Structure 1
Amino acid sequence: MTIGKDHIIKSYDDELARLTGELVRMGELAVSQLEAAIDVVERRDERAAQHVVNNDDAIDHLEQEISHDVVRLLALRAPMASDLRNVFAALRIAADIERIGDYAANVAKRSIPLSMVAPVTATGGLAHLAELAAEEVRGVLAAYRDRDAERAYQVWKDDAQLDEAWTGYFRQLLTYMMEDPRNITPCTHLLFMAKNIERIGDHATNIAENVWFQVNGEPLDKQRKKSDRTSEPQVPGAGLGEPRK
């Protein structure tokens, strides 16, 4: 008995739809992690912060499952052309979401020593950065789910807003540190946390580029405005980052 072509196509489509659903769920979990991290920063709750850090294992586990699903699809279906783009896009997007989860966990991890020093007014600025980053990630997840290249392109462009907000916050924190040396320790933690959030936006743009390629079969080669000016010579203290866990 032979399996009909229509059955094979439907079976592949079902598997791809399931894979897409898993990725969207993984992305939503990563955004929830970011929002939970900001919440524990504001509440100065060490125990809750550690809980957010520990929850990153769930995102890592989902990435492993998706990687296995991709390998199985490649082995069993041998996809070609646009189907192959769909499968490889899923693999790359999973890696970006995993990094988003890592950066959210890093924010929560930094909140623990931050809660041990006197609070500073500038802490509130993190929430605005996180809101912009979460909006980017949710927007690009919707673009991926709907195969909407134009929406992905809009997210890609909108990352300039997060860059601008990061630059402004960077300079604000430097001002706080110069005005009062007692602010140096908490503001240093805030700088690293803010940079992690800015990097989440960069991974959202990576996903947007993958969605564009997935839909159109060509790279997104437009010029994007970059508004992160923290590496310019007149701004001291550039090059902040957080090592991979």
Structure 2
Amino acid sequence: MSEQGTHIVAAYDEEFQRLTKQITQMGALAETQLQAALQAVERRDEKLAAKVKDQDKQIDAIEREIDALVMRMLALRQPVANDLRFILATLRCSSEVERVGDYAKNMAKRATALSQMPVTPLTRGVARMGALVQAMLKDVMDAFLQGDVEKAVEVWESDEEVDSLYTSLFRELLTYMMEDPRHITPCTHLLFIAKNLERIGDHATNIAEIIHFQVEGEMLADRRPKADASNYTVMDPDDDDLGEDAEEDPGR
């Protein structure tokens, strides 16, 4: 191989390493942001909530870096086969992770509002749901970096449990509000937080599907029906929470 050819290969390898480092950093930030948002809700911590909202800018910045690097690699390197699938999978994964950051930021906004209201015991239900979603996010990012299809499928299947918890919590919160009108405002914030968690679970599931396609070269068959809480939905938190920060999530 000529000296020029060696240089091109080395530069290509370096770009792959940089892309992997960026998506790793982005995933770690999203995991940290979600954990902090849940802690801000549980502890009624306004300062921590403010930190979560600020951290979202870092995630957005890394996504832009990934976009630029992917465009460069596609234009200059013309990757094929496994390389192309990895690059495109990373691009799609970064978009999903960015949405996770948006939802964590929205939870932090709700945590700030909740910190100024009477304590409601139903935050424990949110904490249980949050712990499951946290585990899903961590596992799916590990699966992405390891190319672990089996772990990705496990995450994909566990989303059904998140949907079930959301539906149960939704009903419980509505009952709580009907029993005492004073609970309406704090429980509404908790409803939005629960919906944000449910959507984060959806994005973790999307990443699992991306992993399956990247490794296996085919789509993950949708053999798991999506739990439907639409009969109980009285509002769409996307319209309220995401605003100018993101487009409306089409959901699953």
What is the aligned partner in structure 1 of residue 185 from structure 2? 185
Segment drifting more, 63-72 vs 8-17: 8-17
Question: Residue 106 of structure 2 contacts residue 242 of structure 2 at CA under 8 Å; is this kept in 1?
Answer: no
The CA deviation string for residues 191-241 of structure 1, in whole angstroms up to 9 with x for no partner, is 0011001100100111111111111111112312323x3213xx3526443
Alignment partner, residue 237 of structure 1:
234
The AA in structure 2 aligned to 1:193 is I
Aligned match of 1:22 = 22
AA of the residue aligned to 1:47: K
TM-score w.r.t. structure 2 length? 0.89
Which residue of structure 2 aligns with residue 175 of structure 1? 175
Q: CA deviation at 1:165?
A: 0.9
Structure 1, 76-85 or 5-14: larger mean CA deviation = 5-14
State whether structure 2 residue 45 is matched by structure 1 residue 45: yes
Q: Distance in 1 between matches of 2:144 and 2:6?
A: 25
Q: TM-score, normalised by structure 1?
A: 0.92
Identity %: 48
- Structure 1 stretches (4+) deviating beyond 4 angstroms? 3-11
Shift of residue 67, structure 1, vs aligned partner? 1.0
Matches of 1:64 and 1:202 in 2, distance apart?
A: 22
2:55 is aligned with 1:58 = no
Task: Please give the residue correspondences for 1:74-223 in structure 2 after superposition, counting only pairs within 5 Å.
Answer: 74-223=74-223
Gaps of 5+ in 2: 246-252
Query: How many pairs are equivalent?
Result: 242
Which residue of the partner structure matches residue 73 of structure 2?
Answer: 73
Q: Distance in 2 between matches of 1:7 and 1:158?
A: 45
Describe the superposition over 1:47-75 as per-residue Cα deviations: whole angstroms up to 9, x where unpaired: 32112111111111111111111112112
How far 1:25 moved relative to its partner?
Answer: 1.8
What is the distance in 1 between the residues matched to 2:20 and 2:201?
21
